[in-house]
Amino acid sequence: MYFRNGPEYEARLNKPFAPPTVTLKEIHDAVPKHLLKKNETRAALYVVRDIVFTLFLYKFSTSITPWAAGDFGGLVTGGLQKAAVKGSLWLLYWWVQGLVNAGLFCLGHDCGHTSLFEDNRVNNTVGFILHNWLLIPYYAWRSTHHAHHKATASMERDENYVPYTRSQFKLPDEKTATKADYAEIFEETPLYSLYRMFIMQGFGWWVYLAQNTMGSPMYPSGTNHFNPNSPLFKPEQRFSIFLSNVGLTAMVSFLYYMGREFFLIVMFTFLHHSDPTIPHYRKGEWSFLRGAAATVDRPLLGWMGRFFFHNISHDHVAHHNGPEITKAVRSVLKEDYNYDSTPTFYALYRSFTECQFIEDEGDIIFYKNKEGVAVRQLADSVLQDIKSKGWNPEEQDRLGEVGKTS
């Protein structure tokens, strides 16, 4: 039950891929415009709700040690029993606080997209405070995240989760590579794979910020999100990067004083953009719409993900805008809409172990696994038919009428 592929994933495996041909205007026109209006009251209530949750959980954490020292009405008396109770309470706290903190990240994220409040000064103030609470450099993250959305799934220009290529692993040519060549690079025990997954979930965010790991290859070695002069940022953004660093320094000092423990979940961002059945594009086939559609909606952690994460995974194709907009987008994308009900942690393990590298050639490419095999193939005849009909990325991404600008 928990270690199986969802039926939607299996269906994609069995269907050769053809890129979407619908236009951005068709999707835009299908979304009822009242759903795009900002509800500032609801947004403020979500912010207040999550802050209250955070404070309540912090109060809970300060009570764990005195609670564990008691005997719970004579039910827990032995030292080993008390240690087990204390450990269980801390695990419960870390898990729930992690869910709430991930929700705070999502709210700060939506502030970065200016989608919570009408006044962008309010968006930036709220986003700055929420992300600094999580030790996230808000303005630095906002800058590269905007660049990511302008070029999602583009091998040349995307900023996040850019796949490694065959040449980067120094693998032999596809025609001459053997199983032993792949095994030498990728073979490992399941236990070691779980260990590496833990390292990625716990420290991958910080490595990305500090070293731009799995970021765009167009930046030089040593590129990071903390240096205002980093090539990631435009000259007019440099002062805001400095402000992010000031905020982080103040927050680190506060946490050191408070002795606070915290936990962040980065799982959903990895699963948004790393799946064996979802393509990446090079410039010959990329368009904004194709890149935006190259992601997956998932019922991440079931009701907990829907409640705490503010639709970040359940409705990621429509970018967290709720099930009604997802329904409208899906009505236009049809078979090009991607959904996967695979249980969360199995999906994480599957993507982590099967999304290893891509080929250096090809304009539409899929991840290959440890055996050098892509589990999904291109529908070449359909792709040729799309090209013969004059597919044009600029026309696909146009919001106005053909020949007009929007």
pLDDT at 252 over 50: yes
Calculate Rg over the CA atoms of the chain. 23
Q: State both tokens at 378.
A: 């291109």
Contact 40, 123 (CB under 8 A): no
Distance CA 143, CA 338 (A): 27
Distance CA 283, CA 290 (A): 11
CA-based nearest residue to 12, from 275, 384, 388: 275
Distance CA 350, CA 347 (A): 5
Question: Which pLDDT value is given to residue 403?
Answer: 42
Of 83-87, 107-111, 331-335, the least confident: 83-87
Helix, strand or coil, per DSSP, at residue 191: helix
Other beta carbons within 10 Å of 75? 9
Q: State both tokens at 383.
A: 């792709």
Question: Which pLDDT value is given to residue 269?
Answer: 82
Q: Please give the C-alpha separations between residue 95 and each of 3, 90, 98, 102, in angstroms, as whole numbers.
A: 21, 9, 5, 11
Confidence of residue 245 (pLDDT cuts 50, 70, 90): confident
Confidence of residue 244 (pLDDT cuts 50, 70, 90): confident
Query: Can you give the pTM of this predicted structure?
Result: 0.81
Contact 338, 291 (CB under 8 A): no
pLDDT in tens, 158-176: 988 899 999 999 999 999 9
Contacts of 275 (CB under 8 A, 6+ apart): 296, 338, 340, 351, 355, 367
Number of H helices, E strands in the chain: 16, 2
Averaged pLDDT, 17-27 = 95
Other beta carbons within 10 Å of 260? 11
Question: Which pLDDT value is given to residue 267?
Answer: 79
Distance CA 342, CA 301 (A): 11
Angle, alpha carbons 216-220-223 (nearest 5°): 80
Distance CA 262, CA 203 (A): 13
Q: 253, exposed or middle or buried, with CB in 10 Å at 0-12, 13-18, 19+?
A: exposed
Distance CA 406, CA 403 (A): 10
Distance CA 153, CA 29 (A): 24
Q: What is the DSSP letter of 281?
A: E
Confidence of residue 255 (pLDDT cuts 50, 70, 90): low
Beta bridge partners of 280: 365
